[in-house]
């Protein structure tokens, strides 16, 4: 997916009414959301608010688009606007307005936040240098250590469907994972995300991405997970997963260190992302089907 051009004039955004009474923060936005943040003002809604992340869903005309506000210590998601510290006092259901280089949430009073984009950072798709080496290094890792047995079993069905199944079998495997597990990003979704990122790195994401899209994620799982899956289909991932895949495919890559950093992501997210990546490598890295 080409990186969007940062629109001109974004840094000279017009002031919002009531901005002086809000929490006002500078932000560094991913270029992936440049067209959204720098375009015309659109309305959205807060769909999740935690200590480290505020997730906003915006109707972009072609469908819902996810935008996340995170502090500097949070996992840097591909659709994130990073602020110097996490925003506070927000809650799901609050109205958001995005555009002209700014993101406004809530009322102009004490519970409102205004983030003004001061700079941009670029997300690059994950790559795997030596695919055969990466596959050999992950052989036998599909046991999903630390994950629920149901997640591991469903991941195995995904691997078989990618390897030798027809489209119906792949659809069934995706259905079995989508929304499976608790949390903001259920482990089943993280498995799908890890598999999509690897498939994209191998140039073979179209079939899996089509199956995931046909399963209608926004009707089946959390808005955060559903919003992240399209980015995964273009190879865009948390930096910990991208670094792990890069290390796997490099002769001198420090795989152990990269794996530790990936497994530290979330409660189960890192382990599930790794499992999805391993399953996809085993199924897709042997050449065209």
Question: What are the tens digits of pLDDT across the range 201-225?
Answer: 999 999 999 999 999 999 999 999 9
CA distances from 271 to 41, 80, 93, 174 (A): 38, 22, 31, 18
Beta carbons within 10 angstroms of residue 265's beta carbon: 20
Comparing 209 with 108, the larger pLDDT belongs to 209
Q: How far apart are CA 89 and CA 91, in angstroms?
A: 7
Kindly report the average pLDDT of the chain as a whole number. 90
Triad 166, 195, 86: Cα angle to 5°: 145
Q: What is the pTM of this model?
A: 0.91
CA nearest neighbour of 237 among 205, 280, 194: 194
Query: Does the structure show a pLDDT above 90 at 62?
Result: no
β-bridge mates for residue 113, sequence order = 23, 105
Within 13 Å and on the Cβ side, how many CA atoms surround 234? 13
């Amino acid at each position: 997916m080409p990186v969007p051009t940062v629109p001109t004039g974004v840094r000279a955004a017009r002031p919002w009414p009531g901005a002086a009474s809000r929490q006002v923060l500078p932000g560094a936005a991913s270029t992936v959301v440049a067209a959204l943040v720098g375009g015309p003002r659109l309305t959205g809604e807060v769909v999740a608010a935690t200590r480290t992340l505020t997730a906003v869903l915006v109707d972009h005309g072609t469908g819902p688009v996810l935008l996340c506000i995170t502090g500097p210590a949070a996992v840097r998601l591909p659709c994130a606007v990073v602020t110097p510290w996490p925003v506070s006092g927000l809650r799901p259901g609050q109205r958001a307005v995005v555009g002209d280089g700014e993101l406004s949430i809530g009322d102009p009073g004490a519970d409102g936040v205004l983030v003004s984009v001061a700079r941009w950072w670029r997300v690059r798709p994950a790559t795997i240098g030596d695919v055969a080496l990466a596959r050999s290094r992950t052989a036998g890792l599909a046991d999903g250590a630390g994950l629920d047995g149901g997640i591991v079993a469903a991941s195995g069905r995904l691997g078989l469907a990618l390897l030798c199944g027809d489209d119906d079998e792949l659809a069934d495997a995706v259905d079995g994972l989508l929304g499976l597990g608790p949390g903001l990003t259920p482990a089943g979704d993280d498995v799908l995300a890890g598999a999509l990122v690897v498939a994209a790195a191998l140039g073979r994401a179209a079939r899996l991405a089509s199956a995931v899209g046909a399963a209608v994620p926004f009707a089946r799982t959390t808005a955060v997970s559903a919003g992240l899956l399209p980015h995964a289909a273009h190879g865009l991932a948390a930096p910990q997963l991208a670094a792990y895949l890069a290390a796997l495919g490099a002769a001198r890559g420090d795989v152990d260190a990269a794996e530790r950093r990936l497994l530290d992501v979330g409660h189960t997210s890192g382990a599930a992302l790794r499992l999805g990546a391993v399953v996809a490598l085993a199924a897709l890295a042997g050449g065209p089907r």
